[in-house]
Amino acid sequence: MSTVVLLLITGLGLGALYFLVASGLSLIYGLMGVLNFAHGSFLTIAAFLGWEVGRRVSDGTWWGLALSAMVGLAVGAIVAAATEYLLIRRLYERHIEQALVTVGLALASVALFEGIWGTDPIYTRKPDWLAQTTEILGAKIPNDRFLLIACALIVLGGIVLFLRRTRYGLIIRAGVENRSMVTALGIDVRRSFTIVFAIGGAAAGLGGVLASVYYGYVSAHLGSVLLIFAFIVTVIGGLGSLTGAAIASVLVAVLQQFANFYLAGTGDFVVVVALAVVLLVRPRGLLGKVA
């Protein structure tokens, strides 16, 4: 029983990380049809800069971590918005070229990060409480899982409120459904593109800081690993669906944890099989719109 609880909550924590990356991917694809392979780079640069600022001001404290998180959010948003504005926008409606640019950016940025911060993981310090465990139903749960889950829930709630309650949220929801019709109604959607990139980048940036807490290190490859699973989550959840991304994040991460423990470390394999099954049985994903 305690093993199940541990796997479940660890899965939820990992799912929180997936969601922070996948939410942006899903919104960006839903609105603009862009598969953003550079999304992992937003995460990595935010993790590095968040860590650099946090450790200089107050290493291993809550204050330092909060500062890292704020830096991560800001860096993620700014880098993502700049990417959209300077690169993606110029390739409007040219999806292959957009994908190529983001792939190139991802490869180049990883090399750049390695040049600056080296190829080895750099171990980070976190507040003492996060390194301890809390006992739930006999299972000793590392406390950082709770932080991850709480942050992901706050981000989910924040994005939902933004989409439901603001004028740009309305344009984005309409654009995800039918972008050409939004354009035909005389509405300029370009600003919404930048906003969606900024929101997705901010979530990924926060995810980067939290990933460094979860894994205990920062590395130039932090984003690449999470990006793969975030893409799988996005496809399973349904491209363009925020709720789908949230549900699929949890499903994929929990499945991965259980398979790793009970099926001899085959978690990644099982997730890819799940992706294949979803693509065969329900190609639009759990909550995706009919293409």
**Residue 12, C-beta contacts closer than 8 angstroms, at least 6 positions apart:** 145, 148, 149, 250, 253, 254
Rounded Cα distance, 256 and 249, in Å: 11
Among 2, 133, 134, 178, binds other proteins (CB under 8 A): 178
| By the rule CB under 8 A, 258 interacts with other proteins | no
Among 136, 174, 228, 272, binds other proteins (CB under 8 A): 174
| By the rule CB under 8 A, 1 interacts with other proteins | no
**Which of 26/124 has CB closer to other proteins?**
26
Instruction: Write the binding mask 67 to 96 for other proteins: x where contact by CB under 8 A, - elsewhere.
Output: ------------------------------
| By the rule CB under 8 A, 182 interacts with other proteins | yes
Considering the complex, what minimum distance in angstroms separates the CB of residue 30 from other proteins? 12
Q: Which of 174, 291, 190 is nearest to 235 (CA)?
A: 291
| By the rule CB under 8 A, 28 interacts with other proteins | no
Considering the complex, what minimum distance in angstroms separates the CB of residue 224 from other proteins? 31
Q: Which of 192, 277, 172 is nearest to 235 (CA)?
A: 277
Among 153, 185, 263, 279, binds other proteins (CB under 8 A): 185
Among 195, 230, 236, 247, binds other proteins (CB under 8 A): 195
**Residue 220, C-beta contacts closer than 8 angstroms, at least 6 positions apart:** 44, 110, 113, 114, 117, 118, 119
Q: Are strands 139-142 and 133-136 parallel, antiparallel or unpaired?
A: antiparallel
Considering the complex, what minimum distance in angstroms separates the CB of residue 98 from other proteins? 20
| By the rule CB under 8 A, 181 interacts with other proteins | yes
| By the rule CB under 8 A, 120 interacts with other proteins | no
| By the rule CB under 8 A, 132 interacts with other proteins | no
**Which of 199/233 has CB closer to other proteins?**
199
Pair 31, 175: CB distance under 8 Å: yes
**Which of 86/188 has CB closer to other proteins?**
188
| Phi then psi dihedrals of residue 35, to 5 deg | -85, 110
Ranges of beta strands (E only) in 182-232 are: 217-218
**Residue 136, C-beta contacts closer than 8 angstroms, at least 6 positions apart:** 5, 9
Considering the complex, what minimum distance in angstroms separates the CB of residue 245 from other proteins? 16
Q: Which of 179, 197, 190, 287 is nearest to 233 (CA)?
A: 287
Residue numbers at the binding site for other proteins (CB under 8 A): 162, 165-168, 170-171, 173-174, 177-178, 181-188, 191, 195
